[in-house]
Each structure stands twice: as structure tokens, then as C-alpha cells.
Amino acid sequence: MTKQTVDLLLTNGYLITMDHQMSLYPRGAVAIKDNTIAGVGPAIELEAAYEAATTVDCQNCIISPGLINAHTHAAMTLLRGLADDLRLDVWLYGYMMPVEREFVNHAYCYIGTQLACAEMIRSGITTFCDMYYHEAEVARATADVGMRAVLAQTILKFPSPDATNYDESLDYCRQFIEQWLGHPLITPAVGPHAPYTATPDMLQNCVALAVEFDVPLHIHIAETALEQKNSRSEYNMTVVPWVEQCNLFQAKVIAAHCVHLETPEMDIMRHHQAGIAHCPSSNLKLASGIAQVQKLVELGLHVGIGTDGPASNNDLDMFEEVRLAAFLQKGAFGDPTALPAKTTWGLATIEGARALHIDHLTGSLEVGKRADIAVIRADQIHQLPYFARDPEAVYSRLVYATKAIDVRDVIIDGRVLMRDRVLLTMNEAEVIEEASRFATSIDAFLIAREGNILSKLLAISADFVPQETYEIQVKVALPELIDIDIILSKLGLNPYRLSVRDQYDTYFLFTDQEPSRLRFREDEVKDEQGNLKHTFYTMTLVGQTGEKEFKNSILLTRARYTASATHSLRFYREYFKPSTEQEVIKLRRRCHINFQGTDFAINLDHVSSTMPNSVYLEIKSRTWSAKDALRKADLIAELLDKLEIKTENLLKAEYINSITQE
């Protein structure tokens, strides 16, 4: 009998197939021809049957299907360790998004992805599922290295680093799919980021595109409790029924996270054969919660395991994820038999492939599938000793005691990408150098920003137009609360834009910065009966007070940048980290007057703070030039005269300074 010719024979290892019977061969072999598995079985049989161009001895090693990283944002390696231990919004809106807006381009995506590929190959990963920007560059980087991947182009309802609107993203995504469809390694996909960053229309367009080309659709689902809460209040239903209503499940869905699914939502997803990517490190690190993986598995859903992006992990190590996934189910749900090692290794391989809708290609070692294989050393000190009693104890060794560093060789699509821990298809040093160059630029960008409150404010404010103005103002302490009409009648002027409001001001003070202050203001505007009409929030950067003082304590204050505050006070506090804070609460009756052709705001403030006198009259106006300021100071002096204000009642400060001085 003549031997069949193959390209590669991995032999003499402990072979884990992850096939339907979960077959194990304690001394097994895999034969590979071109990119495909030609034979799987006992080493002795395969050595007799095949003549291999290359034979690799795998003694003291486990031969396993390569690991599948079911969810990541690979190129975010370039943001690894940039900002940690922060709340999700501060991390995302304060750091990730501003830096991405500034730096994400073709080169960034290519280098970031290659850095990720190097790390992933080194931890035995053969396939990953990605969602990012400029996804064609991600594809190019991945294909150049030779990894398998499902790559989803991100689509958002708002502008993103690679598009000004979602129509542009959809057009780009279509081109991307057309370009890469049918590639032996790359499965292009559509990536609407999440239900809460999509419109129904946008989602439906994404589904149509995915269905048209029969490619997967990758999306974040129910990552946080807040997402479910918002969905309930906005749509009167949880996230999964809502996206089902948008026809999402007509596509082959890969849903990342699924931390906060209710049981009926799990049933819907199972019914539609949606895949799930469980990301335990990220869910813990960002405090999103703990997904009910054991339950999902029991219900028959296909759950893979993912690292998520390296900015929320902070690495791409599937061994860490696998171990954590198994531990977390036991510890969080009080059952040490939950997610046993064999099941967990399944999630990392064949179930991951099913979740990604590519189990016809990869995920197990079976004849006809692509040769995606990790050869893992099993003789390292942290794995020993070895008990032969239970053949399935190999899974517990892999899940509980084996590390990324133990991966010796990696084969993807029949090609050896790593041999004895040396990467054969990429120049790591070059990638590291280019990555370092990006890091240096990002550092410089952030150092400049962090050293300056204005730029730090601008970095998080999409609608924030820097607009430098001056304010000319005077404050007068009044003996008691009086009606604003009395003041206006003294002036003989007609007021307009009258309003009454409660103002809650929080000032952030900085000792280590230029003498700026940030003010977060909540305005509760009342109607004539004193009922709340509406609330709005503004964030104002206040420059140095009293840049110039005119007679009668009339002050010129410079550089006020104001915009609506889109985040919470807590967000700004954690983002700006002020040295101290100061609160000023006041009831403000406000109107405008026109005095000699010039607009002035008149505020009658009842300040509920520890100030000597709690009622103040404020007259102020905006100005853009020093000359104009002088003219307006004169006009204010005239107004003070008309009101018979005594000089000793003039307050030569803003409320905040006055309080601070006490």
C-alpha cells in the first residue's frame, strides 16, 4: 500500500479534536494537505498512512484546535494601558473616543491590528472576530500575517473616526465586503456598534447588507444594565425584542457581551441561532456585570469567549479569558460544577466557531476542515505533575494550569505561523517600533491636553466651540430680598426676557494649573407659579477673575467658554480631578434691559450659602474688546448711580471667591 502524500504531519501529541464525540487520542496525529486537515487519529495509524513533506514531533504537547477570540477591537492595542481604573463614561468619552478621533487612520488600524495579531498568535489564537474602523486595513493587516478572522466594519448613527454619517459607513462597508468576500482567511461582516448607537433605519440597512452578501452581523448587545434600563424607558421593551423588531435576526448575528439578558431574550436568540461572545475580563474591568454563561450553554446557545479590545482587558490572552470564564461562573453563581473545564475549552474552540457562524471551516480538528491548530507544551513546571487516571483531565490542565506562553506552534489555514515561539510571517520588531511611534504621539497629545483645562474640555465636547469673551460686571449686596420690579421702576426701563430659576453651581478649583475654574451649572427654570418648567446644564470655563478693575468695583472677567453639559457632574469630577470643589446655590430672578442702546442682564440673586449677606443684585454685560469694556463700565456706573447704590455694599468678587475668602 502506497502512502498518501501530505504537506505536514503533527504527530506524537495528546490530540484533542473537539469533534462531535469529543474524541481524544493520547498519542495522536494530524495530517495536513494544503490548507486542509487530511487525517486525524492515533499517531501510529497516521504515520503508517501518510508520507509528509514535514513532520513535527509533538511529544509532551497537546494538539488542540486553535483558540477563537470571539470578540475584540484588535487595533486598540495602540491604546493599551492608556487610561485604567476609570468609570466607563470617563474612560470612553474622556479618553478612548477623543484619542480615536485624533489618531485613528489607515496606518493606525494596520499597525494596531498587526501588534494584536502577534500577541494573539503567541497565545494560541487562530481566529478572531473584530469590530473597528477602516476595517479594510484591519483585513489587510490580518491577511498579511495569515490569521483567520471575521471582521466587522463599525457603523454608528453619529460621526465616527472613518465617516461623517452612517450612510458613508454603509457604503464603505459594502465596498469592504465586495473586496474581501471569498478570501480564504477573511470573512467580512457588518458591524452596527450597538442598539443604543443605532437608529431602526440604520439597523435595517445593516441587516439588508449582511443578508445580501450572506455575511455575519456583529453587534454589542446588553453589555450594561443601563442599556437595558434605557431601552425599557425609550421603547418599553428590553434590547433583544427591540432589535428583533428591527429584523436584526434575519442576519447571522454575533452578539458581544450579553451580560444583562432576561430569559425570554435568551430564548429569542436561541430561536434565531444568534451567536454570543462572552468577554469576562472586560465585563469585570468595566464593572458591566457577569453574564449567565452556564445558563446560556444549558439553553443550547452557542457561546464563544472573547478578550474584547486590549484597552479594557488589557491583553489578548485567551488562556486568561478561558480560566476566568470557568472560575467566574462557579464563584458568581455559587456552583463549583458550573462551566467545567471540558465545556469551557469547547467555548474557546468549536462553540466559538459556531457563535461566529464559521464552524464549517474551523473550531475542531476534523477531516475536511481548515488546519487551524495550536500545539501546546504540557510539561512545564506549573502544569505538573500529570495524572493519567482520567483522560479528560487534559481539559482541566488546559483551562486551569496552562498559559499562553506554553503555546509552542501555531498553524493557520495549513500554514505554520509560529514555530517554537518564533513568529514566521511578520516582523515583530518593526511593528513594535511603529506602535511606539504612535504611543509617543498619543502621549504628546494627552500631555498637552491634560496640562490645560480648556483643551481637556474641548476633547470631550463635540458641540463645544471655543469662543473667548469678556464679561463686565458689578455685584451689590442688598439688605433684604426685594422685588425686581422695584429696581426696574427706579431705572425707568422696561425689562424683557424675564425669568426665575434655581441655579446649582459647582466650581472645580485647580491648584496645580493656571488660575482657571470650571463651573458646572444646573438651571431649574420656573414658571410664574414657581413650578419647574425645564432644566438645563452648562459647563463653563471661567478665566481669572478681576483681570481689570474699574471704579466702583466693576470687574472685567476674561475667557468664558460655555457649552451645554452633556455628561453628569460625576463624570466631569472624575475626568477633571479638581483639587477642591465649591458649591453655590441661588434663586435667581433675571431680566434684560436696554440702557442707552446696550443690553445688560440684571440678576437678583438670593444666595443660600454662608455669605455675610445673602441677597445680591448683579449687573453684567458681555464684551469683545477692552475699549468696549471701558464704555460699558461707565454705563454700569450710571446705572449704579440711578439705583443709589452705596459703595460699601459693592462686592468686589464673584460669589465663589467671596465664599472662599471666608
Residue 372 CB, nearest distance to its own copies (Å)?
21
CA atoms within 13 A on the CB side of 82: 31
Q: Which three cell numbers mark 474?
A: 458689578
Residue 8 CB, nearest distance to its own copies (Å)?
26
| The residue to which cell 445593516 is assigned | 206
Q: How far is CA 97 from CA 163, 257, 609, in A?
A: 14, 20, 38
Buried-state track 168-189, b at ≥16 Cβ within 10 A, e below 16: ebbebbbebbeebeeeebbbbb
Q: How many residues does the chain have?
A: 662
Q: Is 574 in the site for its own copies (CB under 8 A)?
A: yes
In the shown chain, the binding pattern of residues 183 to 222 toward its own copies, with x for contact by CB under 8 A and - for none, equals ----------------------------------------
Q: Is 103 in the site for its own copies (CB under 8 A)?
A: no
Q: Which is closer to its own copies, CB of 17 or CB of 343?
A: 343
Q: How far is CA 646 from CA 66, 88, 447, 553, 621, in A?
A: 84, 52, 49, 12, 21
Residue 66 CB, nearest distance to its own copies (Å)?
18
Q: Which is closer to its own copies, CB of 205 or CB of 313?
A: 313
Residue 519 CB, nearest distance to its own copies (Å)?
24
Residue 613 CB, nearest distance to its own copies (Å)?
40
Residue 138 CB, nearest distance to its own copies (Å)?
18
107-136: which residues touch its own copies (CB under 8 A)?
Answer: 115, 118-119, 122-123
Q: Is 336 in the site for its own copies (CB under 8 A)?
A: yes
Q: Which is closer to its own copies, CB of 364 or CB of 402?
A: 402
Query: Judged by CB under 8 A, which of 183, 270, 295, 403 binds its own copies?
Result: 403
Binding window for its own copies (CB under 8 A); candidates: 8-16, 148-156, 381-389, 619-627: 381-389
Q: Is 405 in the site for its own copies (CB under 8 A)?
A: yes
Of 644, 636, 642, 645, the residue nearest 492 (C-alpha): 642
DSSP 574-616: HHH--SEEEEEEEEEEEEEEEETTEEEEEEEEEE-SS-SS-EE
Binding window for its own copies (CB under 8 A); candidates: 151-159, 170-178, 310-318, 635-643: 310-318
Q: Which is closer to its own copies, CB of 429 or CB of 465?
A: 429
Q: What is the DSSP letter of 96?
A: I
Determine the straight-line distance between the first and last CA of the chain, rounded to whole angstroms. 101
Q: How far is CA 578 from CA 115, 508, 511, 512, 571, in A?
A: 36, 5, 8, 9, 12
Which one-letter amino acid corresponds to residue 162? D
Residue 28 CB, nearest distance to its own copies (Å)?
20
In the shown chain, the binding pattern of residues 437 to 476 toward its own copies, with x for contact by CB under 8 A and - for none, equals -xxx-xx--xx--x--------------------------
Q: Which is closer to its own copies, CB of 218 or CB of 323?
A: 323
Q: Which three cell numbers mark 32?
A: 495536513
Determine contact, residues 622/559, Cβ cutoff 8 Å: no
Q: Is 382 in the site for its own copies (CB under 8 A)?
A: yes
Q: Which is closer to its own copies, CB of 332 or CB of 650?
A: 332
| Cβ partners under 8 Å of residue 600, min gap 6 | 592, 593, 594, 619, 620, 621, 635, 636, 639
